[in-house]
């Protein structure tokens, strides 16, 4: 998966050998603890992966979760690195190699990359979206509106990276590492794009991946428990999200002024607004807001709602579920802040037909409906099942699992949600990663049993995901609906020692004979 990102970045040569930057200049504003060697040398590239090092590059050694970049310093030097950034006391047996020790290599990487690529986010309109759920769909909706206006738009999302110059790629992570992100934005600027729409994960905020990115708009979708394997508790998770909004007052002023878009119906909205040092546009359905939605009809073809944003009109949204009304309101709020005419906002929302892996329908001629969705939290699964529950004519079945090496607390919660909202569930593997798939399922099953579920009667356990999908399809009757949740757009299934090609949509098509 990482190869997709590597491939696209390799093709994007911003300066190549045509321009270099003095190392002393690059480290001017970073916190330096110690310098060994003379920093008056020219640097022609920055990399945090030793495999990407070229002659005269700067290598930034990051202490990762699985590997430590400090273990690859010699490899980077052998490939031509003439300087290294470290956060540990390292003895380098090459006197001509400059070593710069800093408190945080990740922070230094972000600051150095921003300067190396000449502060690209200050030269383009940047819209950042954060929240537990809804980031990707909101990004697609904003992109749709902006393109309807004739703007050229780049996107950095969980699904893909679109950078201009005809470059696009499947993404490997929601928000890329800071050097990658700065290089992507530089590519968009050089190709004269007008906007970049960017998902901003809580991991990215804590790990300094967007440090120095000048956001024009920060969008908050919603907040619910997630990533508690990474964040110590909910408060820490919330503070990570809030840091994006706080940063709107810390960076350089931009014209027009920066702004925040906040879902006022979410319980933490008031806290986020209190911490936001710039203009705020609120949106919601149940509370008073600057941009409001009133749901008229929910059907299997989408949602019809009234949009109130200066003007008032009916929106025929092709995306299923009330949760997507919220995503549409978030996008409309950004557009309103950018002074886009109401008619173009309406056209942009209505022209988006689908988002890959987000309640994506898989067409068939069997008389039942199949959807694939990325829902991988209890809240996300609940919203998607509720959306389908409101439009199903027959039974509602769900196939789902939980990812390994991720928040364990959500596993029984997702089991309870499935039992409550689906007529029948098949618990299976998601991306087990280094964990035992059967042990993950035991933890999910605990929640199902606590809610009164019984095997065979209410649910099945089938560890193999393909077999689980096949069993679900064989149980389908006319007018039933099947949701396959958890992986959505993903193209691989990740195990301890390998990643195998596996796409829920293609598996369904194969099992149904690619109708």
Name the more confident of 152 and 14. 152
Model pLDDT for residues 255-300, shown as the tens digit of each residue: 677 999 999 999 999 999 999 999 999 999 999 999 999 999 999 9
* Tokens describing residue 490: 């993903």
* Closest to 38 (Cα-Cα) out of 30, 29, 27, 47: 27
Total Cβ atoms within 10 A of residue 260: 25
Q: 73-87, 168-182, 374-388: which has the minimum mean pLDDT? A: 168-182
Cβ atoms of 193 and 152 within 8 Å: the answer is yes
Distance between CA atoms of residues 420 and 424, nearest Å: 10
Distance between CA atoms of residues 186 and 192, nearest Å: 10
Percentage with pLDDT > 90 across the chain: 87
Total Cβ atoms within 10 A of residue 255: 6
| Helix extents (H) in 59-165 | 73-78, 105-116, 135-148
What is the rounded average pLDDT of the residues 139-150? 99
* Closest to 379 (Cα-Cα) out of 131, 130, 132, 201: 132
Give CA torsion, residues 49, 54, 57, 58, to 10 deg. 20
> What is the pTM for the complete model shown?
0.94
The pLDDT value given to residue 16: 40
Share of the chain residues as helix, strand and coil, in percent rounded to the nearest 5? 35, 25, 40
Domains of the chain as residue ranges with CATH:
17-116 (3.40.1390.10), 120-351 (3.40.1190.10), 360-511 (3.90.190.20)
Model pLDDT for residues 78-121, shown as the tens digit of each residue: 999 999 999 999 999 999 999 999 999 999 999 999 999 999 99
Model pLDDT for residues 340-351, shown as the tens digit of each residue: 999 999 999 999
């Amino acid at each position: 998966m990482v190869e997709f990102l590597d491939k696209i970045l390799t093709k994007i040569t911003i300066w190549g050998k045509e321009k270099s930057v003095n190392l002393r200049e690059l480290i001017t504003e970073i916190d330096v603890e110690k310098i060994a060697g003379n920093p008056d040398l020219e640097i022609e590239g920055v990399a945090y992966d030793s495999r990407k090092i070229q002659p005269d590059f700067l290598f930034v050694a990051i202490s990762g979760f699985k590997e430590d970049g400090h273990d690859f310093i010699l490899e980077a030097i052998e490939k031509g690195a003439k300087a290294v950034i470290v956060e540990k006391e390292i003895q380098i047996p090459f006197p001509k190699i400059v070593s710069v020790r800093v408190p945080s290599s990740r922070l230094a990487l972000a600051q150095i990359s921003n300067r190396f690529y000449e502060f690209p986010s200050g030269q383009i309109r940047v819209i950042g979206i954060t929240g537990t759920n809804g980031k990707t769909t909101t990004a697609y909706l904003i992109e749709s509106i902006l393109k309807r206006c004739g703007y050229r738009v780049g996107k950095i999302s969980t699904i893909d990276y679109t950078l201009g110059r005809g470059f696009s790629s499947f993404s490997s992570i929601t928000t890329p590492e800071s050097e990658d992100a700065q290089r992507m934005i530089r590519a968009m600027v050089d190709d004269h794009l007008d906007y970049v729409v960017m998902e901003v994960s809580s991991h990215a905020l804590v790990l300094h991946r967007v440090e120095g990115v000048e956001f024009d708009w920060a969008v908050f979708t919603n907040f619910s428990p997630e990533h508690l394997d990474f964040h110590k508790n909910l408060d820490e998770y919330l503070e990570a999200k809030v840091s994006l909004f706080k940063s709107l007052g810390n960076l350089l002023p931009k014209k027009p002024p920066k702004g925040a878009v906040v879902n006022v119906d979410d319980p933490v909205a008031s806290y986020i607004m209190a911490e936001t040092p710039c203009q705020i546009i609120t949106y919601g359905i149940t509370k008073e807001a600057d941009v409001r939605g009133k749901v008229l009809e929910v059907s299997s073809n989408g949602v019809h709602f009234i949009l109130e944003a200066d003007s008032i009109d009916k929106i025929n949204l092709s995306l299923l579920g009330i949760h997507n009304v919220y995503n549409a309101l978030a996008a409309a709020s950004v557009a309103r802040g950018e002074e886009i005419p109401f008619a173009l906002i309406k056209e942009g929302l209505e022209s988006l037909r689908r988002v890959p892996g987000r309640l994506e329908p898989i067409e068939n001629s069997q008389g039942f409906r199949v959807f694939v969705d990325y829902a991988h939290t209890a809240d996300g699964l609940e919203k998607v099942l509720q959306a389908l529950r409101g439009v199903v004519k027959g039974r509602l079945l769900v196939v789902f699992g939980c990812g390994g090496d991720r928040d364990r607390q959500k596993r029984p919660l997702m089991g309870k949600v499935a039992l409550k909202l689906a007529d029948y569930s098949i618990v299976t593997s998601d991306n087990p990663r280094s964990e035992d798939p059967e042990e993950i399922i035991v933890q999910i099953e605990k929640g199902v049993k606590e809610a009164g579920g019984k095997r065979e009667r209410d649910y099945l356990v089938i560890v193999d995901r393909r077999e689980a999908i096949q069993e679900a399809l064989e149980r389908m009757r006319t007018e039933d609906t099947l949701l396959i949740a958890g992986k959505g757009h993903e193209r691989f299934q990740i195990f301890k020692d390998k990643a195998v090609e596996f796409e829920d949509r293609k598996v369904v098509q194969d099992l149904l004979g690619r109708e």
